[in-house]
Amino acid sequence: MRSIGAKRLGSSTRTQDFTTLLAVFCVLMKVTTCRAWHYSGRIATSRQMLSGIGPLLRRKSFIIHPATSTKSRQHISITANAAAEGSRGSAAVAQDLKNSRETQKERQGKLDLNPPRGTRDFYPEDMRTRSWLFELWRQVARDHAFEEYDAPVLESEDLFVRKAGEEVTEQLYNFEDKGGRRVALRPEMTPSLARMVMAKRNGLVMPVKWFSFPQCWRYERMTRGRRREHYQWNMDVWGVSGVEAEAELLSAITTFFKRVGLTAEDVGIKVSSRGVLAEVLAALDVPDAKFSATCVLVDKLEKLPLEAIQGDLTALGLEESVVRRLLDVVQSRDFPSLETAIGAKSTALAQLRQLFEYARAYNFEEWLVLDASVVRGLAYYTGIVFEAFDRKGELRAICGGGRYDKLLETFGGEALPAVGFGFGDAVIMELLESKGLVPSLSLGLDALVFAMEAGLQGIAIRAATSLRAAGLTVDLQLEARKTKWALKHADRLGATYVVIVGPEEVAGCNVRVKEMATGQQHVVAIANLESWISATFTTTSPESAFADSVNRS
Ligand code: HAM
């Protein structure tokens, strides 16, 4: 295989003519050996290239440009090969190459106003909703006596690279920094949390019960509810080996669902245990070392036909009889069938039974569904695993988690029991929006203060300052405007009051206060403004709006 050497060509007519000629020349020379052409920022195989030439010639506007350096050319070739393997990460690459218009925009010298593909801007109105969601999550975590923590979004690549064939490793946003270190944007929080716990292990009081809202980055193929960055609510418990920890975490998840207005008819939580697979593998003498990779493959069976991963199973040295037995066990959907499949003495089965009993005590049992097919795609889980899903089956997993008692060992530390979950913002917002459960949140403006004349701005400033000191959210009009405009503006912003600083009122040491809801106007002494408003006022700041909506649910 060899590449066609083509110089980067401009977009002038002459250049286009030249590129057209070059393409025709390639066809005439029956060039079938070229590996990839880079045109309009896309990659084509030789066959695609030949079939694509017809329309391109008709349009006469294509641009051939190789990658700008040998290095990037190599990179593109590699990712194109990976795409052929059909993994989710590489499918994302293929999707990107197919759809990307960025290079074209760059060439035209225009700034692309969209955020990078798969990422989001949060304009203030979006931010209000995001804060509302985070505040609900935070409240639930605090109600369960968890403490908030954070870690850098950029971590050492090693922290995330595992050899079990997980999607999350294939989807890593990784690169070399200016100091030559391999780094990655975190795809999940758990490894960072493990690093933090390991670093201070001797000083930490167990159990550690921590929560966070990390932004996570995955080079995903984008589908409904799946993006390249998302926020996750994480709650984890370290130092507890019993299912009491799992039960407490599921309590937090179901408390959130209830507070936000969802019911057990809308959402369920599938629960299983990797302990079931561990017991089956042990009974069949499959070495422990194959456990994680086997779980990752069994998880893939949910999405892919057996033939698609048969090669991986064989590479792992799993005999067909083992695979058949595993598939048989994961069919179980209730306790009697699971007992039949793995025997009444199973420890994993006893733990699952215990968890369901605790769920009854907490009063969230109706949300749980025993489903042995839930294995989860992350390599580090060792015991109970769970995943929340919408009962209509339209969305991808709402949240997921499980027990990972051996993660510290993989980092060279001493094992420490741990369990936790990650709950993304994207899928839940889709669900809440579809059910009309997202409140419309206003800016929460208590008052707009405005001076009718520039000379009165000083008095307006004093009025605004005293109201802010009294705890109100106050917008001070910064440019001279007509009263009509200011009132309209206050209406747009949803202000409760407008404080009008006019020459007539000021002459009498007063201001005029208009109640926007009723239209009533009051002349209030400047000296009494703060106490007058505080006495008549119910604050509508965003914090109190969030608190109201949290309390209502
Ligand atoms: P995960 O299943 O990979 O687990 O992700 C947890 C949740 O994050 C998913 O259920 C989904 O809500 C959300 N999520 C994941 N990827 C995306 C994406 N590309 N776009 C939008 N949302 C997404 C973990 O990350 C584990 N670290 C969770 C955990 C914490 N286990 C123990 N502690």
Last residue of a domain, one of 389, 406, 434: 434
Regarding the beta carbon of 424 and ligand 1, being less than 6 Å apart is answered yes
10 within domain boundaries: no
The CATH number that applies at residue 465 is 3.40.50.800
369 shares a domain with 403? yes
235 shares a domain with 144? yes
261 shares a domain with 201? yes
Cα–Cα distance, 150 to 145 (Å, whole number): 17
Q: Which amino acid is at 171?
A: Q
480 shares a domain with 423? no
Question: What is the per-residue pLDDT for 30?
Answer: 37
Q: How far does the centroid of ligand 1 lie from the alpha carbon of residue 201, in Å?
A: 25
466 within domain boundaries: yes
Nearest-CA residue for atom 14 of ligand 1 = 424
Question: What is the per-residue pLDDT for 223?
Answer: 84
Regarding the beta carbon of 191 and ligand 1, being less than 6 Å apart is answered no
291 shares a domain with 224? yes
Q: How far does the centroid of ligand 1 lie from the alpha carbon of residue 547, in Å?
A: 27
86 within domain boundaries: no
490 shares a domain with 398? no
The dihedral region occupied by 283, where left means phi > 0, alpha psi between -120 and 50, and beta the remainder, is alpha
Interacting residues of 78 by C-beta distance below 8 A, sequence separation 6+: none
Cα–Cα distance, 264 to 254 (Å, whole number): 9
Domain that holds residue 314: 124-434
306 shares a domain with 192? yes
Question: What is the per-residue pLDDT for 233?
Answer: 98
Last residue of a domain, one of 434, 469, 499: 434
457 shares a domain with 428? no
Domain count across the chain: 2
Question: What is the per-residue pLDDT for 194?
Answer: 98
536 within domain boundaries: yes
170 within domain boundaries: yes
Q: How far does the centroid of ligand 1 lie from the alpha carbon of residue 347, in Å?
A: 27
Counts of helices then strands in the chain (DSSP H, E):
22, 19
Q: How far does the centroid of ligand 1 lie from the alpha carbon of residue 230, in Å?
A: 9
200 shares a domain with 162? yes
The CATH number that applies at residue 355 is 3.30.930.10
Residue closest to 143 by CA, chosen among 550, 509, 552, 436: 550
Question: What is the per-residue pLDDT for 43?
Answer: 31
In order along its 553 residues, the chain shows pLDDT tens digits of 333 333 332 333 344 444 444 444 434 343 333 322 222 223 333 333 333 333 333 333 323 233 333 333 333 322 333 333 334 455 565 556 565 555 555 566 789 999 999 999 999 999 999 999 999 999 999 999 999 999 999 999 999 998 888 999 999 999 999 999 999 999 999 999 999 999 999 999 999 999 999 999 999 988 888 899 999 999 999 999 999 999 999 999 999 999 999 999 999 999 999 999 999 999 999 999 999 999 999 898 877 888 888 888 888 888 888 888 998 899 899 999 999 999 999 999 999 999 999 999 999 999 999 999 999 999 999 999 999 999 999 999 999 999 999 999 999 999 999 999 999 999 999 999 999 999 988 888 999 999 999 999 999 999 999 999 999 999 999 998 999 999 999 999 999 999 999 999 999 999 999 999 999 999 999 999 999 988 887 555 444 444 444 444 4
Last residue of a domain, one of 382, 413, 434: 434
522 within domain boundaries: yes
Q: Please, is 35 exposed, middle or buried when counting C-beta atoms within 10 Å of its C-beta (0-12, 13-18, 19+)? A: middle
468 shares a domain with 411? no
Task: Return the percent helix, strand and coil in the chain, to nearest 5.
Answer: 45, 15, 35
Residue count of the chain: 553
92 within domain boundaries: no
200 within domain boundaries: yes
